[in-house]
Amino acid sequence: MEEAQAADIDLETNTNHPDQDQVVRPPRPQRERRVPQRLDDYVCTMPQSVMPMQAPSQSTNSGDPYALSNCVSYNSFSSTHLSYLAAISSVDEPKSFSQAIKNENWRKAMRQEIKFKPDGTVERYKARLVAKGFTQIEGLDFNETFAPVAKMVTVRTLLALASIKRWELHQLDVNNAFLQGDLHEEVYMKIPQGFTCNQSNKVCRLRKSLYGLRQASRNWFEKFTTSLEAVGFKQSKADYSLFTLAIADSFVAVLIYVDDIVITGNDGARIATLKHYLHSAFSIKDLGPLKYFLGIEVARTTEGIVLSQRKYALDILTESGMLGAKPSSFPMEQHHRLGLASGSPIPDPSQYRRLEHFDAAMKVLRYVKNSPGQGMLLSSSSHPHLVAYCDANWAGCPRTRRSTTAEYRAMASTVSELTWLKSLLYDLGIYHSKPMTLFCDNQAALHIANNLVFHARTKHIEIDCHFVRERIQRKELLTAHVPSHCQLADLFTKALGKERLHFLLYKLGIRDLHAPT
C-alpha cells in the first residue's frame, strides 16, 4: 500500500516537472467570421428619413446599401410641391403629453390636430376646453350621438370625377367646429380652471355644444347640414356627408369629414360665393387647393390626380425601425398562406399584437420600404363607367379549408357595391345608362348568375342569386369572364409573384411619382 502511494506521488511530481514535454494540440481551422444569413436583410445603422428638398444623389449612399434615397426620389415635382412635401415631412407630431411638453410650440397650446397651409407650413396650434363627456348619462344628458363622416370610397369617387371633369379642388377647415352646434339638452359642468367666480357653489350651464360632449359631433353635423340646405344644397342619399347644388349647367359638390371640407365643381364664382357664406356662418379657414386630406397626399399631374400616403408609409417604417431594411419588390412570397398561429399571444399589446405572423409583417414593411410613394392614379382620360372585378380565394385557409368568401357571395357583395356607387354617381350628376360590367374568373358562378339554376348546392345562397339575377334581367348588370392572369381582384386575395403583381398594379392604375429615375 505504501509503495503504491509512493508511486502515485512520484507520478504527480513527474507530471509537474518543468522539463516535461508539453502536450501539442492540433491547430483549429481559421474560418472567416460572417454575419448570419438571416440578418442580410437588415443594417445596424438606421438612416434618417430623406427630406424632399435634399433629394440626395447616388454618391451620398456609399456605405449604406439600403439607403432610403434609393427608393424615394423627388426629382419629378415642382418647387412649390417640393416645399409642401418638405414641410409636412418635417412635422413631428407628439404621441403623448411627455413628448409634447418638450417642444415650445406644444407647450403654448396642447393641440388637438395639425392644419396645413397650401405651402405645407403649419396653419395653427390650438388648445381646447374639453368637457368630461364620460360622466354624461344617456337619456338625461344626451340621446343620439351618431354623426356620419365621408366614406373613403366617396372621397376617391369625388376626386376621380374631379379629375375627369378637370374641376378645381378646394379645401376648407372649420374653426372650433364642435362649438358651432346647438345644444338641445340641459347640460351643466363645473367652472373650468382659469376662470374666476366669486361664488364657489356655482356651476356653468352650457348654451352651445362643447368638445367632449357625447352629442357634440352630431350637433355640429346637424348645424352644417341645415346651413347648406338653406342655400339650396341637397344631401346625398348614398352618403349623407355629400352635398350637391345643380342649377342649369352649374354644379358644386361639398364633402365633409368632421371639420374638414372639400369643395369642387365647374362654377368658380358659385364656389367663391359658397366660401364667403360658410365663413360668415362658421368662421372658415381657406386652405387653398386640396393637397393633403385625411393623411392622403394629393398631387395633380398632366395625366390626372395621384393619391399616395408617402408620409404615412415613412412614419410606419420609422416607428417599426425598418428604415434601414432591405427593400422587397413584392409583399408576400408566392403561394404563401397564413394559418392560425399556435404560439402564445405577445404579452405587450404595443408590440403589434394584431399581427399574427411577425415574419410576414416584416416582409410587408420591406415592400413598403421599396416604394413608399406608390399611389393611385385617377386618370383624367378615363370615363365614369362602373367596372368591377370579383374573386374569392377558394380553400385559402389551410386550417379550415374554407374559402375566405364564396365566389358567388363575393359576386353578390360586389354587385351591391356597384349599385351603391351608381346611386352615388347619380347624386353627383352622372347618369349611368350603360349596364355595369362585372368580371369574374369562375365559370360556375357566372353560370349560376345567368341561368335559373337551383339545386341542393345553391339553396344557402338563394337570396344572393335573386339579387344578382334581378340586376341582370333589368339590364343593369353585365357579367363577363376574365382570364385568371388578368384578374385584378387577385391582388387582394392571393400572394402573387413579382411579375404578375407589377402587371396587375399597373393595370389597376398604381403609379409611383417618387420612383428613382
6-10, 235-239, 379-383: which has the minimum mean pLDDT? 6-10
The pLDDT of residue 5: 44
pLDDT band at 329 (very low <50, low <70, confident <90, very high): confident
Query: What's the pLDDT score for residue 50?
Result: 45
> Which residues lie below 8 Å from residue 87, measured CB to CB, with a gap of 6+?
116, 119, 120, 121, 122
- Four-residue CA torsion sign, 55, 59, 63, 64: positive
Q: In the structure, what pLDDT confidence band is assigned to residue 25 with cuts at 50, 70 and 90?
A: low
The predicted pLDDT at position 55 comes to: 42
* Helix extents (H) in 333-461: 358-370, 407-427, 443-450
> By C-alpha distance, which of 149, 151, 147 is closest to 421?
151
**Cα 205 from chain centroid (whole Å):** 40
Q: What is the pLDDT of residues 97-135, one digit of tens each?
A: 677 767 777 666 554 445 556 555 666 656 677 888 888
**Is the pLDDT reported for residue 2 higher than 80?**
no
* Length of the chain measured in residues: 517
Confidence class of residue 290 from pLDDT cuts 50, 70 and 90?
A: very high
The phi-psi region of residue 429 (left if phi > 0; otherwise alpha if psi is between -120 and 50; otherwise beta) is left
In whole angstroms, what is the distance from residue 165 CA to residue 159 CA? 10
d(CA 135, CA 63): 58
Per-residue model confidence as pLDDT tens digits over 182-201? 888 888 888 877 677 777 78
pTM of the model: 0.74
Which is more confident, 34 or 485?
Answer: 485
Task: Give the pLDDT mean for 264-292.
Answer: 91
Residue 383 or residue 197, greater confidence: 383
pLDDT confidence tier of residue 427, bands split at 50, 70 and 90: very high
* All residues at 6 or more sequence positions from 168 whose CB lies less than 8 Å from its CB, including other chains: 162, 264, 265, 268, 271, 289
Grid cell at residue 181: 352646434
Closest residue by Cα to residue 422 from 495, 468, 364, 476? 476
DSSP one-letter code for 178: G
Question: So what's the pLDDT on residue 168?
Answer: 93
Per domain, the residue ranges of the chain are: 65-127, 131-309+373-378, 383-517
DSSP class of 330: S
Please report the DSSP string for 443-469 in residue order.
Answer: HHHHHHHHS----TTTGGGHHHHHHHH
Whole-angstrom CA distances from 385 to 388, 437, 489 are 10, 9, 18
Higher pLDDT, 204 or 235: 235
Q: Cβ(191)–Cβ(204) under 8 Å?
A: yes
What pLDDT, on a 0 to 100 scale, did the predictor assign at position 405?
Answer: 44
Residue 407 has a CB neighbour count (10 Å cut-off) of: 22
Residue 273 pLDDT > 70:
yes
- State the pLDDT confidence band at 96, using cuts at 50, 70 and 90: low
Choose the weakest-confidence range: 30-39, 149-158, 185-194. Answer: 30-39
pLDDT of residue 179: 86
Which residues, including other chains, have CB under 8 Å from residue 453's CB and lie 6 or more apart?
A: 447
Decide if pLDDT at 406 tops 60. yes
What pLDDT score does 393 carry? Answer: 61
C-alpha cell at 502: 407589377
- Between 30 and 123, name the one with better pLDDT: 30
* pLDDT (average), residues 205-219: 88
Cα→Cα distances 45→1, 60, 65, 91, 198, Å: 70, 15, 11, 23, 61
| Residue 416 scores a pLDDT above 80 | yes
Q: For residues 499 and 337, which has the higher predicted lDDT (pLDDT)?
A: 499
Mean pLDDT of 392-403: 52
One DSSP character per residue, 22-84 reads PPPPPPPP-PPP---GGGTT--SSPPPPPPTTT---GGGGTT-TT-GGGT---TTS-HHHHHH
Provide the pLDDT for residue 6: 41
